[in-house]
Amino acid sequence: MGHLKDFYDSAFLEKQLKFYSSLPEKQRRHFLSMEHERLGKGSKRYLSRVFGCDRKTINKGIAELSAANYQCDYSRQRASGGGRKKKNTPSKT
């Protein structure tokens, strides 16, 4: 695998990471999909690497925003601690 292109300089990336961490889940997906659209080809892998998300997350955001009848409703958010719980790795004793 070749070298991954860096789309952001370090100062801008730091600001983007702070902004991204302040967003709720749905807005993060939409932010990433808009960044992918802005940065273009090859940015999906880069964005997933620097923001620590799966490329499927970006794909879901793209699908949501490109749907003809999609309404951006940010009033409903998952409760803190909601969603699937992380698997506990069994301790070897």
Cα-Cα-Cα-Cα torsion 16, 6, 33, 39, nearest 10 degrees, comes to: 110
Q: Single out the residue of 24, 37, 34 nearest to residue 80, CA to CA.
A: 24
* Cβ atoms within 10 Å, residue 12: 10
12: DSSP letter: H
Convert the pLDDT of each residue in 8-63 to its tens digit.
Answer: 878 888 999 999 999 988 899 999 999 999 988 888 999 999 999 999 999 999 99
Q: Single out the residue of 20, 90, 26, 84 nearest to residue 48, CA to CA.
A: 20
Does pTM top 0.75 for this prediction?
no
In the chain, what are the domain boundaries? Answer: 10-66
Q: Single out the residue of 29, 13, 38 nearest to residue 74, CA to CA.
A: 29
